[in-house]
Structure 1
């Protein structure tokens, strides 16, 4: 993919803005760290009728084992015991002197849903120290560009710091919703490992609004495929004071 072609397309879009013209353009890269993140997806589905009947039985009666529940519900003990073991394993039911619902079991029964932790899987997320956040996008598509400009000077040598686990959870849940037919979400992260660092090209345009005599930047991020407000703010903070002298 040619960066020059994309730059011309974006410039054409910007020149259609009323009262603004491009007085300078530039290219630079920002570093993006790719992390391999491992987690347990949680499957959420309507609770089946047998599980609901069993939970109600444990809630209202005193049962010591699956066999007595099977007698009351008139269901084969094999089915009852398999389901009982599953509910104990997932923390819906616990056994003291009798089988009882846990707070988790009470909650899921009241909501009529069953949540099951699935086997661990791994996915990748891209983190930008300059943004101090994870960025959506396909890093492999970025690698298809024909050229990679120099790195933005004040983005060099920035450390990753402490990753925001909640932000990882939200992004992974969004990816689950987009990619999976099953209704799954993420509640916690098992591990995260940095596997590579890539340069992401960005295209910047300095525009002059003649009616207001104002200079401002628009920056396009080729990873997110969007105009990047954070990068625009970075340029404003570091370079805006010099633009009038340099470009007007």
Structure 2
């Protein structure tokens, strides 16, 4: 943390109009959330599957043998694809005839086959103070004890059940769970559950700055989990405290300068005497 503070101090002081008024260190609680989910693979539909779906759509096919004779394809391949399409709910048998489901119709129209869902899980970091997931590795965080963020209690009523599934999907997407390469696309199809595994404290460095040219006091806050300036925490602190800083810092400076002026005047008086 000492090296990080030194580096950030040098960075901020590159602007000669900016003066660092104060520096604080504190921690923001983050929860490691184990997210159980399902993914599906989407591939371009092969010609045999497309022909079979068209046959089911337009004809009255009752058995794999009928379809094998019609398409002049080995029945072993026909059986394998029928099993696959049945498991993925693309086809159904109604009145002893193979029929396309709504899903089967959609996939035939798009020419895309969605494979069976696969179960998986991934751990992601959720910060109630940000009301969102953060990207970073909690294992690399400093183990130093930190005073907690002074406004973290405002978000203490958070529970893992309150997580929106869209937030969980976005977190998984940021971790690279979804991918697309050539004819293969892997997408998240379902969030199964979310469970808190552990809670850690993310060290943050707060710099209180004064821009003399613009006469503005403001905070910059470095988040060591994301390794970047944290706009969310900065907005919270600036909104609540900037007016108070002006009173605190500039009243102290005024007292200091007044004292200096009085001392100087006294010295001049003694000198003339």
The structure having more radius of gyration, on CA atoms, is 2
The CA RMSD over aligned residues, in Å, is 2.1
**Which residue pairs with 2:130 in the alignment?**
131
SS at match of 1:188: strand
CA distance in 1, matches of 2:18, 2:91: 65
**Which residue pairs with 2:57 in the alignment?**
59
Structure 1 residue 238: Cα displacement: 2.6
CA distance in 1, matches of 2:114, 2:204: 42
Aligned partners of 1:87 and 1:93 also within 8 Å: yes
Trace 1:235-246 onto structure 2 (pairs within 5 A). Answer: 235-246=237-248
CA distance in 2, matches of 1:176, 1:117: 17
Change (3 A) 1:60 1:173: farther
Change (3 A) 1:199 1:178: farther
Structure 1 residues 16-59: Cα deviation after superposition (integer angstroms, max 9, x where no partner): 24632322111110100111111111112211221112112212
Structure 1 residues 191-226: Cα deviation after superposition (integer angstroms, max 9, x where no partner): 111110000011111111111101111111111122
Aligned partners of 1:34 and 1:125 also within 8 Å: yes
SS at match of 2:130: coil
**Which residue pairs with 1:171 in the alignment?**
171
1:196 partnered with 2:198: yes
After TM superposition, which residue ranges in structure 1, 4 or more long, deviate above 4 angstroms? 178-182
- Which of residues 219, 225, 233 in structure 1 aligns to 2:221? 219
Structure 1 residues 87-116: Cα deviation after superposition (integer angstroms, max 9, x where no partner): 111111111122121121121122221112
**Which residue pairs with 1:208 in the alignment?**
210
Gaps of 5+ in 2: 251-273
Trace 1:135-154 onto structure 2 (pairs within 5 A). Answer: 135-142=134-141, 145=142, 147-154=144-151
Structure 1 residue 183: Cα displacement: 2.7
CA distance in 1, matches of 2:100, 2:17: 67
**Which residue pairs with 1:228 in the alignment?**
230
Change (3 A) 1:180 1:120: farther
Structure 1 residues 134-170: Cα deviation after superposition (integer angstroms, max 9, x where no partner): 111111122xx25232111221471323011111012
Aligned partners of 1:134 and 1:167 also within 8 Å: yes
Change (3 A) 1:179 1:64: closer
**More displaced stretch, 32-41 vs 103-112:** 103-112
Gaps of 5+ in 1: none
CA distance in 2, matches of 1:141, 1:73: 59
CA distance in 2, matches of 1:50, 1:117: 18
Trace 1:64-75 onto structure 2 (pairs within 5 A). Answer: 64-75=62-73
Aligned partners of 1:169 and 1:187 also within 8 Å: no
Structure 1 residue 187: Cα displacement: 2.1
1:43 partnered with 2:41: yes
**Which residue pairs with 1:31 in the alignment?**
29
How does the TM-score come out when normalised to structure 2?
Answer: 0.83
Q: For this pair of structures, how many residues does the alignment match?
A: 244
